[in-house]
Every structure is written in C-alpha cells, then in structure tokens.
Amino acid sequence: MPLVNAKEMMQKAREGHYAVGAFNINNLEWTKAILQTAQELNSPVMLGVSEGANKYMTGYTVVAAMVKAMIESMNITVPVALHLDHGTYEGAKKAIAAGYSSIMFDGSHFPFEENVEKTKEIVALAHSKGITVEAEVGAIGGEEDGVIGRGEVADPEECYKIASLGIDMLAAGIGNIHGKYPANWQGLDFEALAAIKAKCQGMPLVLHGGTGIPEDMIKKAISLGVCKINVNTECQLYFQEATRKYIEAGKDLEGKGYDPRKLLAPGFEGIKEIVRIKMEMFGSVNKA
C-alpha cells in the first residue's frame, strides 16, 4: 500500500477508542523494525521524522524515497503515514515538497497570532496536496533536538482557535515531557485534557512524550480524545540496552560478531519489542 495521510487513521482511532503510535525513525534499521512490527501486528502506524533526523539521513527526499521503497520491498499492507515531527515553517514546506504524507507544523513558540497565521498557510499548502497537518498549542516540556519546551499546559481557548483552522490533529501540552520523566513528575493534567476535548469537539488530539507514561494514564488519555501518541526515547533506550548487552557479553569479538548486520541485530529486536508493547498498550493491534 502506498503512503497514506493520517486522516482516516485518526477518524478510525477516534471512533474505535484507540491511538495510533507515531514512532520516530533515525535510519534504515529503525524504519525496518517499526514497519515489520506494524505489519506483524496488523496495526496502522506513523513514522515520525524530526528535522534533526532528516538532516542525519541527508535530507527529506532521501527519507521519503527510502520509506516508500521499503513499504514496497517489504510488502507492507498496513496503513503507513510518513510524518514530519515538530516541523518548522521552512521544514514543513520541504517535507511537503519531498512527498511526506503528513506534517506537524510546530508554531507553539511563536506569539499566538503568528502561530495562527503560519498554521493557516501551511494547512492550505498541505491540504492542496492531500497531506494532513498537526499543529501545536502550548509548549511541551523537555528537550528534543535542542528544542527545550517549558512544560506548559495548553489554554483550551487557544486550542479551539487553532483547531478551527482546518487542521487534522492537535498537539496540546498537558504536562507531558519529551524524554525520560523525572521522578517528581506530576503526571498528565487530565482536567486540562478534558477541557480541551470539550472545546475542540471531535478533533483528534496528539500526546507527545509517550516514553514512560504509565498504561493507566495512556488509557485515560485515549478515553479523553487522544488518537496519536508519539514515542521516540523509548525506542532509543531499548536499542541502546540490547546493543550494550551484546558488546558487554563480548559477542562482537566472537567470529564475525563485528559485522554490522550482527552488531545491530539485538538493537533492532529491541526496537521491535518496545513498538509491540506500545501498539498493544495503545490498542491499535488488528486495526489496520
């Protein structure tokens, strides 16, 4: 199946009370592990690519070409969206031109009116090409690719205004943080989420910072309108842990254990394991 945008995925997730996982990719192994798991579990999936990861993989066109070709060569039949994660105004335009099927325009650090104006412009451009748009209100805490959020909780009134611009998904800060949650984290702000849901009737909501959020909070967030959950750090941690174990056990020194296809295999399986755990937790298994 060719790349799809996120519209139908989000509609079905909202009606079926589950969430689609958006997993960040960094290279071929990441992409292959996530696509393979989605296919095995018959789950829809979104591949998130930050601007930093796009740069690392040498450009938007390279990423789009790789993902499209892998979907074909791996016979992937579940719905896959290729989604720009935390796009700037310029990055969003590049991703649109390169053939991404979905983009996030993150104007949350702009003054609100500027966020509105730029989001409107990106929506018009993306929709003219059948590409879905996620917008953001209120910074999300933590650090990702050098972007430090303030951990704000979004204002439901601002959410309503941005949701009214014709966007397809809305990321609203509710005390979530990118990366590992600190021991003193207060948890998600469900009162804020309920207020946002009430204001933005029917708008699929996006939960960033999916790493380490306990299952009960994930389930409650889904019951309050969350249809897409972003996971990045946890795939990195599973990859790191499995790779470290392989090297610490001296496996890279045995036979051809230095072959990158062997060296990266445990980390690859680690990514598959955490993606499976998350898809089961989010309820997207067998929803393709």
Active site residues: 85
Contact 16, 82 (CB under 8 A): no
Q: Is 141 in the site for ligand 13P (CB under 6 A)?
A: no
Of the two residues 99 and 212, which places its CB atom closer to ligand 13P in the complex?
A: 212
Return d(Cα 55, Cα 122) in angstroms, integer: 21
State both tokens at 225.
């309108």
Q: Is 228 in the site for ligand 13P (CB under 6 A)?
A: no
Q: Which of 21, 91, 149, 209 binds ligand 13P (CB under 6 A)?
A: 209
Q: Which helix (H) or strand (E) holds 207?
A: strand 205-207
Closest contact distance (angstroms) between CB of 22 and ligand 13P is 7
Burial of 89 by CB count in 10 Å (0-12 exposed, 13-18 middle, 19+ buried)?
middle
Q: What is the dihedral of CA 78, 84, 86, 88, to 10 degrees?
A: -160
Per-residue binding letters, 17-46, with ligand 13P (x by CB under 6 A): -------x----------------------
121-124 long-range contacts, Cβ below 8 Å, gap at least 24? Answer: 122/89, 122/92, 122/93, 123/165, 123/166, 123/167
Of the two residues 156 and 209, which places its CB atom closer to ligand 13P in the complex?
A: 209
Per-residue binding letters, 146-175, with ligand 13P (x by CB under 6 A): ------------------------------
Q: Which of 83, 94, 178, 197 binds ligand 13P (CB under 6 A)?
A: 178
Binding stretches for ligand 13P (CB under 6 A)? 24, 48, 85-86, 178-179, 208-211, 230-234
